[in-house]
Amino acid sequence: MTTISITAVPTNAECRSMLADGRILTITASHRPRANRADVKCIVPNAPAIAERMQQIVRLARHTEVRLDSRDQVVLSMDITPAASERDWELAAVLADRMVRGLHPITPGQHTSAQGSSDAWHLGRVDGVVSAAPAASATTTLAAGAAPTSATAVRIATEPHGAGFVADAEAAKDIGQGEGALHITHLGALSGHADLSSAVSTVRTWFPLHSGGINDSLGWLEVSVFPLDVPAASEEDGIAAPGLDLAAQQEVRQTLTAARHFDGKGLNRWRTVVRFGQPRFQGGSYQLALVMADRLARGREFVPRGRIIATGSSTAWHAGRVDTVEGREPKLELILNQVNHGDRVLLPKDWQDQLPPGYAAGLRQKGASLACIDKIGMI
C-alpha cells in the first residue's frame, strides 16, 4: 500500500471538541523541525497529566500509519483545560495531529470538530459518527455562539458508553441527520481505507515484579508491530513506549534495536508500540520478556501453548546474549506460585545451577516448561 498526503502540509491546524459542561475546546497543532526533540509535544494549561495523556494518545494513534516521517516535531496545545475524567477530546487531538501532517484534509472556510475516545488507539479503532453540517447548526448543537457561523462542522462522536456520555449521544443524533453522515469503526474509514487493525500483530508476555512485599506479582508488557510501506530512517524512530518516563522509553528503544540487530531480519520495517500493565517500576529484568514479545510479534519464535514468563537483561543484546538479574530467590518463588498449565518460563542460564531442589519438577507438575538460556534465538 502506498499512502500520500491528502493535502499540502499546513503550518497549523485546529480541531474542536465539546466538553461536558458545554464549553468548546480547541486543540491547535503546529509542526517544526525536530532537531533532536521529542516527536510529539503537548501543552495543557496547568494540567501536565492531561498533556502527558494527549501525547500518549497521539503516539498510539499513529501506529497504523503505513509511512513514518520523523523529521518534524508536532506541538499540540489546548486553549482550555478539560476535567481530568473527560476523554471525549481524544479524537480531536488525533485529527489535529493528522491534519497538520497533511494526512487529513483541511478545507478553507471549514472547521473540524471531533468527539470520541478509544481504548485501542494503537489498533486504529474508534466507534464514531462523522457528518458535515452548516456551522450554525453545529454551533447550536455544541454551544450557542461558541463557533463561527460561516463554516461547515465535521463532528465525530462516540456512541454512548455510560451516563457521562448521554449529552454527547443526543448531540451525535442531532448532527447524524446532516448530509454526509458516516459511522466509523476505525480511523482508516476517515479516508475510505480498510481497517488496518488486522495487520497489527500483538503479543503479551509476563515478567516478575518484585518489591519485597504483598504487591509482588507478574507484570505484563505488550508489543504491537505494524509493517511500514517504506523503511524508517532508523530503528529507534519507529518504536514508541507511551506511559514510561524518558529514561525507560530510551531503554526500551535501545533494547529492541539491539535485539533486532542480532536478529538481522526486516530492520527499519516496523512501527512498534510497547505498553506495560504497570508502567512504574525500576530495573531492567523485564528486558528478556520484551525481546521475546517482539520476536513473537514479528514471527521469529514458536508460539507457546500458554504464557511466556521471562526475566533477564543484557548489556549485549546485539550479540543475542542473556545476562542474569537480581532478586533470584523471590522471583523464582513468585513464578512457581503463579505459573499455569502451558506456560513457558525463561530464566538466565546463570540461574540453572542455583535453582532450588525440585524447582523444575514443580513447574512440570503444574504443566509448565522451563528453559535457562544464555542466548536468544535458541529456544
Tell me the pLDDT tens digit for each residue of 317-368.
999 999 999 999 999 999 999 999 999 999 999 999 999 999 999 999 999 9
Sign of the Cα pseudo-torsion (95, 97, 102, 103, in order): negative
Q: How far is CA 335 from CA 28, 107, 122, 303, 345, in A?
A: 48, 57, 30, 20, 8
pLDDT at position 378: 59
In this prediction, residue 164 carries a pLDDT of 28
Q: Is 250 helix (H, G, I), strand (E, B) or coil?
A: helix
- Whether residue 20 has pLDDT greater than 70: yes
Question: How high is the pLDDT of residue 371?
Answer: 95
Tell me the mean pLDDT in the region 1-10: 55
Kindly report the CA angle at 253 between 250 and 259, in degrees rounded to 5?
A: 135
What is the DSSP pairing of strand 72-78 with strand 40-43? parallel
Indicate the pTM of the whole model: 0.74
Confidence of residue 217 (pLDDT cuts 50, 70, 90): confident
Structural domains in the chain, CATH included, are: 12-196 (3.30.230), 200-373 (3.30.230.10)
Which ranges of the chain would DSSP assign to H, the alpha helix? 48-61, 90-100, 135-142, 166-175, 246-263, 287-297, 328-338, 359-365
The answer to which of 4-18, 41-55, 97-111 has the lowest mean pLDDT is: 4-18
pLDDT tier for residue 304 given thresholds of 50, 70 and 90: confident
Q: How confident is the model at residue 183 (pLDDT cuts 50, 70, 90)?
A: low
Placement of cell 528453559 in the chain: 371
